[in-house]
Amino acid sequence: MRHFRISDQNPIKTKRLLLTPLNAKQLAALEAEEKDELLRGALGEMRKNVTDYYDLALWHTGWQISLRNGGQVVGLLGFHGVAVNQTVELGYEIREEFRGNGYGEEAVKALCDWAFGCEGVYFISALAAEDNTASNHILEKLKFYRVQSPVSGMNAWELERPASAWMSIYMCFGLAIGLTFGQTLFQNMAIGLAIGIGAGLALGSGLDAQDRAARKRANAPKKLDAPEEQKKTK
C-alpha cells in the first residue's frame, strides 16, 4: 500500500506557486491565529485527522499556497479525506488580497493533476456557493462539470480523470517493434508489422478496458451539464 505521509511529499511546483502540505504543528499554529470560526474548526479537524491517519495524511491536510517569488502565503487548499467511490472532495480558499491573479486556478489544477496520478482516484468533486462567481468560474475554466448538489445554495462540480490511451501507445510500440523484427526474423516487414500491431492492439485495448471498468461508480451523482469534450461531439 502506498503511503501518503506529509514527510515524504515535496512541495508541488507550478509556474508561480508552491503547494506545501502542512503537518499537525503547522496546522495548529494556523488554527490558533484564525479568527473565522468556521475555518478555525476546519483547521482543527485537519490537524486531528493528520495525526489519526498518519499514513494517509496528504488526503486530510491543508496544502499551503505560496508564491515562488517572494514566498507570500496566498491561500490554502486540500482534500476532505481519501477517495470514496473513486472520488475525492476538494476545497480551496485564496486570501482576498491575492484574488484576481489566477492563483486559485493554477493551484487547483496542480493538486488535481497530483490526485489523478494516485491509484483509485478517478473523480474530484467540489462545492461552491451559488453566488461565489469567482470560485464557480475557476472550476468551469478547469473543465469541471455540474452535478446535482446535495447542499442547498451550493453548486456541485466534478472533474473526471482523462481516459487512458494505452491502445494508441501500444500500437505505436507494436508498429516500431514489428518493423524491426519483421525484417530481422521473417525477412518480411509486412508479417512483423501485422504481428506487432496485433499484439499492441490486444494489450492496449485490454488496459483501456480495465481503466473504464475501474472508474465505474455506484450511485454516481446526476450530471447537470456535460464535459466540454462531450459538447463538442454532439
Answer whether residue 229 shows pLDDT above 60: no
The answer, as to whether pTM is greater than 0.85, is no
Please state, in angstroms and as integers, the Cα–Cα distance from residue 2 to each residue in 12, 47, 79, 86, 180, following that order.
Answer: 18, 21, 17, 16, 38
Average pLDDT of the residues of the chain: 87
Please state, in angstroms and as integers, the Cα–Cα distance from residue 213 to each residue in 99, 164, 175, 204, following that order.
Answer: 40, 12, 27, 14
Answer whether residue 118 shows pLDDT above 80: yes
Answer whether residue 11 shows pLDDT above 80: yes
- State the amino acid at position 67 in one-letter form: L
pLDDT digits (tens, 9 = 90+) for 53-110: 999 999 999 999 999 999 999 999 999 999 999 999 999 999 999 999 999 999 999 9
Q: What's the CA gap between 201 and 222, in Å, rounded?
A: 34
Written as nine digits, the cell of 27 is 496546522
